[in-house]
Amino acid sequence: MQIEFVAGPLAATVSPVARIVDQDALPADLEAVVLEAARAARFSGKAGQACDAFVARDGAVVRVALAGGGDAKAKDRTAALERAGAALTARFLTSGEAALTVDFTGTRLAPAEVAAVLLGARLRAWRYDLYRTKLNEEQKPSLKSIRVAGAPEGTEAAWAVEAALAEGVEFTRELVTEPANVLYPASFVERAHKRLDGTGVKIRVLDRDEMAALGMGALLGVAQGSVREPKLLVMEWKGGPAGGKPTAFVGKGVTFDTGGISLKPPAGMEDMKWDMGGAGAVAGVMLALAKRKAKANVVGICGLVENMPDGNAQRPGDVVTTMSGQTVEVINTDAEGRLVLCDAITWTQKEFAPAAIVDLATLTGAMIISLGHEYGGLFANDDDLAAKLLAAGEASGDKLWRQPMGPAYDKLIDSPIADMKNVGPREGGSITAAQFIGRYVDKGMPWAHLDIAGMVWANKPGQTWDKGATGYGVRVLDRFVRDNLEG
């Protein structure tokens, strides 16, 4: 969707035109028919509400819409304004209207607040209809642009930052949505090149032979049952002080997960195309950071594999040697994400000696049982890093909830024949998975693990997304960079 800024006063006959309304504060200058429409729709300006009506102005019929901006004094005002923009898009996306003008004249919103409205509007407009060839005309999106009128000075600059974020979220949604016959390790890398080349992000790719030479037995063990070659995608953004240590974001990129020999039940297995959601978020945030020229040093690493059950596949009971030298008894081949991450994290530490590591993974179904689809799980060995990520989650809307770790959980993954096994008992499944990854983090290295299994895909529309890929992870990482890595 295009966002266009309109200079000068808005003509009375522009249609459709929308206004953002604070809760319980309907503008006094609204026509009686608009006020009646609001009353009939029980519109009071609550966040996410929307209504519209047709009125006569200067001899023309004008469509007027109202969107609720919520309580002007609420601490979650930004989120409410995003919902206002999203509500407008949801109402007009397939309405037959090609453009919508949002008039901010007299709203007293700051530039960042107007940008929040626009961000919500753009994110809610994203759809991926590439493979839908028989949509009825009334089902096809008609809304192509939003025109912005009456915005305060500085809004275009504020929007440029949020537009970069939106582009990153949209890229992640695209990656997560694509089917596994289209998106696999090599084509994931191709997409990253297509979107990141020319932005200032430096890309490197390690292939199977290079990873084998480095001793990445855990990651390669997951990949050995697939004809798709594994890749380690490395994206570097150097926008901060020269020579400064980067912060590393590491993503699990299992482009399809059958479970391997420990085969998943057939029902719902098609969802496992989004088991690369962590890697998708890392690629998306790297694009967002580059597009807005973030003043920070960040490296994104994606361990890309496909987990398949052919005659060469890894077996339950196999023992693999990780790049760190530690050995793992593979009890369950469906606990593969941690095997990918452990080698990716070891390589990241050796290659970059980062200031901190944050990994993202659709790691465990147990996380969904614990937190549903409202929060991602946060595990960390550093309280300061955890607090910063929790704050970034709250501010961005990609919410996180901290989970416990400790020696009592760690001993649950001890193996009788190797250094560790890749699963513990049924109870505490998300925690033992985090404990496993934690064994590969160097002493003194601040590290956080985000288990986002319940967040990357939605079975119903949300506040700023339609049914499908949410783009979760990009916003929390971007906010973390803004608040903590940029001066």
What local confidence, expressed as pLDDT, does residue 296 receive? Answer: 98
Q: Band of the pLDDT at 9, cuts 50, 70, 90?
A: confident
- According to DSSP, the residues that pair with 401 across neighbouring strands are 377
312-346 tens-digit pLDDT: 999 999 999 999 999 999 999 999 999 999 999 99
pTM above 0.85, yes or no: yes
Percent above pLDDT 90 for the chain: 97
pLDDT digits (tens, 9 = 90+) for 262-293: 999 999 999 999 999 999 999 999 999 999 99
Question: Stretch 93-102: mean pLDDT, rounded?
Answer: 97
Each domain of the chain, given as residue ranges in start order, spans: 2-149, 163-484
How far apart, in whole angstroms, are the C-alpha atoms of residue 170 and residue 165? 9
Catalytic residue list contains 208 = no
Residue 302, SS3? strand
- Which superfamily does 163-484 belong to? Zn peptidases (3.40.630.10)
- Mean pLDDT rounded to a whole number for the chain: 97
CATH number given to 2-149: 3.40.220.10
Write the pLDDT tens digit of every residue in 182-223: 999 999 999 999 999 999 999 999 999 999 999 999 999 999
Strands 447-451 and 356-361: parallel
Give the span between the Cα atoms of 311 and 225, in whole angstroms.
7
Model confidence at 106: pLDDT above 90? no
Mean pLDDT in residue range 30-45: 95
Distance of CA 68 to CAs 136, 138, 187, Å? 30, 26, 42
Pair 313, 261: CB distance under 8 Å: yes
Give the per-residue pLDDT at 243.
94
Catalytic site includes residue 475: no
- pLDDT higher than 90, residue 306: yes
Mean pLDDT of 289-309: 98
Confidence of residue 96 (pLDDT cuts 50, 70, 90): very high
Q: Name every residue whose Cβ is closer than 8 Å to that of residue 28 and which is 6 or more positions away in sequence.
A: none
Residue 269 is classified by DSSP as G
Query: Looking at residues 460-483, what average pLDDT do you find?
Result: 97
Instruction: Give the pLDDT of residue 28.
Output: 87
pLDDT tier at 309 (50, 70, 90 boundaries)?
very high
Q: How confident is the model at residue 450 (pLDDT cuts 50, 70, 90)?
A: very high
| pLDDT > 80? residue 487 | no
pLDDT in tens, 379-405: 999 999 999 999 999 999 999 999 999
Q: Report, as an integer, the average pLDDT of 148-170.
A: 97
Query: Which residue(s) pair with 205 in the sheet?
Result: 233
Q: What is the largest CA-CA distance in the chain?
A: 85
Written as six digits, the tokens of 259 are 């479970």
Percent over 70 (pLDDT), the chain: 100
**Predicted pLDDT at 107:** 87
* Local structure of 208: helix, strand or coil: helix
467 has a pLDDT exceeding 90: yes
Catalytic residue among 127, 147, 191, 264: 264
Give me the helices (H) in 292-358, please: 337-352
What's the distance, Cα to Cα, between the start and end of the chain in Å? Answer: 31
* Closest to 361 in 3D by CA, of 236, 298, 448, 246: 448
pLDDT by residue (tens digit) across 70-95? 999 999 999 999 999 999 999 999 99
pLDDT at position 222 is: 98
The residue among 108 and 405 whose pLDDT is bigger is: 405
Helices of type H across 68-184:
77-92, 111-125, 155-177
Which residue in the list 77, 338, 388, 482 is annotated as catalytic? 338
Split at pLDDT 50, 70, 90, the class of 457 is very high
